[in-house]
Amino acid sequence: MPITDSAYPAQATVLVVDDTKENLTVIGQLLRPYFHVRVANSGQRALQVVETAPRPDLILLDVMMPQMNGYQVLESLRTQEHLRHIPVIFVTAMDADEDEERGLALGAVDYVTKPVKPALLLARIRAQLELKKARDWLSDQNAFLDAEVHRRMAENELIKDFSLLAMATLAEKRDNETGNHLRRTQAYIEALMERLKSHPRFRAALATEDQRQRIAKAAPLHDIGKVGIPDAILLKPGKLTPAEFEIMKTHAAIGAQAIGEAMQRVQDTPSPADAAAQPTAGPLAFLETAQQIAGNHHEKWDGSGYPAGLQGDAIPLCARLMALADVFDALISQRHYKKAFSLEDTVHIIVEGRGKHFDPDIVDAFTQLVDDFTGIAARYADAPALHAGD
């Protein structure tokens, strides 16, 4: 049965590399009825040709060439990501087993000895081109699937961010004078984490962007428990009575409990693909961080905080960061029950709380970031921007 063009992948380009003109002519004439043929008479020239269009789909490579032999050419091709997947067939007069083994070990896909048998060479080329076509198709499919996975992950992240911000904003709207409090506290925490990510105490918890983003994105949920506080207390224009303050303090526990119930529902919800499948760690890790922030951001370093009276490192790091950010913003912001403190007084109060209210190392980071905090407060100001001399 005669060999026809249809037996080969359409528009395949074959690069023939040989230092002997006669060999280039013979092999070129054999291949041209079926392929687009390019030729190179040296290893150096071959490496130049593969960088120009049309890039070969397959290379027939002689081994014994002066200056740069075929093994060296193949080694160079395999070191370059955009060239390493081009199949190479050695075509050589060397027929010792060790020569063939060396070529295959370097990454050649086949080994044909001279003088070549036309039907055999064409069959070998066809087989390798079909394999390359299949590999390219799989690569394209994998690239498409990878892009689709990333697109859906980004979409899920956007939905998650929107949902948590909507929940946090809902709680915030009940306390109608907090304004941009969520944006400011989130930005304060981001600044602190950037400063502390190389600190020996915090490196393990803050080293990666994912770790820091999980905390930053969970931060707006710190006061989600305020939805459970009666309006008469939450919106009271004056100072709370001791009894009212005790009720106000329950917002931390309420928030932690609400998020804990959400976590339980996630764990109890079966996967659509497998009713017994467990959810991925990502959503639970995020919710756990949000729960820690909501439930513990009023704990104090010396153990005098609430709701559990945790002390020192027993307080989750994310909550310790939130504690400083929340107090700073509360002090420099005007509320319906108080005037704004000056920046000087605010910094003094936080420094005084070092080792008492706040983690000492977090306070030390804050003192280096006062200008950054001031800029954040101004950027997301509810009223006229904060000035250092106010």
Q: What is the pLDDT of residue 140?
A: 82
> Residues of the chain with pLDDT > 70: what percent?
84
Q: Give the confidence band of 31 by pLDDT, cuts at 50, 70, 90.
A: very high
**How many Å apart are CA 198 and CA 182, to the nearest integer?**
26
What per-residue confidence (pLDDT) applies to 272? Answer: 41
Segment among 141-150, 153-162, 170-179, 191-200 with least mean pLDDT: 170-179
Neighbouring CB atoms inside 10 A of 60's CB total 27
pLDDT given for residue 59 in this prediction: 97
The two domains 5-140 and 175-379 share their CATH topology (first three levels equal): no
Q: How confident is the model at residue 152 (pLDDT cuts 50, 70, 90)?
A: confident
Q: Tens of pLDDT along 322-371?
A: 999 999 999 998 877 778 999 999 999 999 999 999 999 999 999 999 99
In the block, residue with structure tokens 């070129």? 28
Structural domain boundaries of the chain? 5-140, 175-379
Q: What is the pTM of this model?
A: 0.59
**Residue scoring higher pLDDT (372 or 113):** 372
Mean pLDDT of the chain: 86
Which comes out higher in pLDDT, residue 193 or 281? 193
21-28 mean pLDDT: 94
* The predicted structure's pLDDT at residue 196: 98
Q: Indicate the range of 90-104, 135-149, 165-179 predicted with least confidence.
A: 165-179
Strand partners, 111: 90
Read off the pLDDT of each residue in 207-235 and give the average, rounded to a whole number. Answer: 90
Topology given in CATH for the domain delimited by 175-379: Hypothetical protein af1432 (1.10.3210)
Average pLDDT over every residue of 157-182: 67
Q: Averaged over 27-32, what is the pLDDT?
A: 94
Q: Residue 12 in contact with residue 36, Cβ under 8 Å?
A: yes
pLDDT of 137 over the 90 cut: no
136 pLDDT band, cuts 50/70/90, is: confident
CB atoms under 10 Å from CB of 42, counted, come to 17
Amino acid 139: pLDDT: 80
Residue 336 near residue 177 (C-beta atoms within 8 A): yes
Note the pLDDT of residue 371.
97
Is a pLDDT exceeding 70 seen at residue 105? yes
- Kindly tell me if the per-residue pLDDT of 204 is higher than 60: yes
The domain 5-140 is classified under which CATH number: 3.30.465.10, 3.30.70.260, 3.40.50.2300, 3.30.930.10? 3.40.50.2300
pLDDT for the residue 161: 67
pLDDT(278) > 50: no
What is the pLDDT at residue 282?
Answer: 56
Per-residue pLDDT band at 285 (split at 50, 70, 90): confident
pLDDT tens-digit profile of 119-130? 999 999 999 999
Question: When comparing pLDDT for 145 and 201, which is higher?
Answer: 201
Range 247-265 average pLDDT: 90
Check residue 263 and give its pLDDT. Answer: 80
What pLDDT score was predicted for residue 6? 45
